[in-house]
Structure 1
C-alpha cells in the first residue's frame, strides 16, 4: 500500500486476514472492503495513540520479539523482504491464495 509504512501495512493486512504476498489484482471486491475497514480502524487507533501502538493484541506488538508468534492464534510469524521492506504475517491467519 503506497504511503503506509511497513508496521501499518502489516497490521492492516493481518487484521484483514490478507496475505501481503497476494497481488492486489487478485483481491475481490469483498477483500478490498475488508482491507479498507481494517485500514480505517488501524489508522484511527494509531492517530489516537500518536504512533503505531505496540499492543499485545496487535501484530506490531509481536513482530520484533525473538520468536514472534501471532497474537490471534499463536502460530509462528513468517517474515521476508517485499519491495525493499520487511513484511511480517501469520501463515495461519493470512494464508496464501484467495
Structure 2
C-alpha cells in the first residue's frame, strides 16, 4: 500500500511540476539560457583545472599513489597481454 501511495504521489508531483514549467519559449530566452550555460561551463572547467593549486600534502600523496599504481598496472598489463596472446595461439592451433 505504501508503494502504491508513493508511486501515486511521485506521478502527481511530476505532472504538477511539468504544468508549471511552461514558460514563453522564444529565441531570446533560449539565447540567454545558452549564454548562461556556456559561461557556467567555462567557469566549472576552470575551477576543475585550478583545484590542484589548492591541494595539501595528503591530496598530493593520494595523487602520487594513483599515478604510481596506474604505472605498475600498465607495466604488468604488457606482460599479461603477451602471456594471454601466446596461450591463445596455442589453443587456436589445437
Q: Does TM, scored on the shorter chain, surpass 0.5?
A: no
Larger helix percent = 2
State TM-score, norm by structure 1.
0.28
Larger strand percent = 1
Query: Which has the higher relative contact order, 1 or 2, with Cα contacts under 8 A spaced 6 or more apart?
Result: 1
State TM-score, norm by structure 2.
0.29
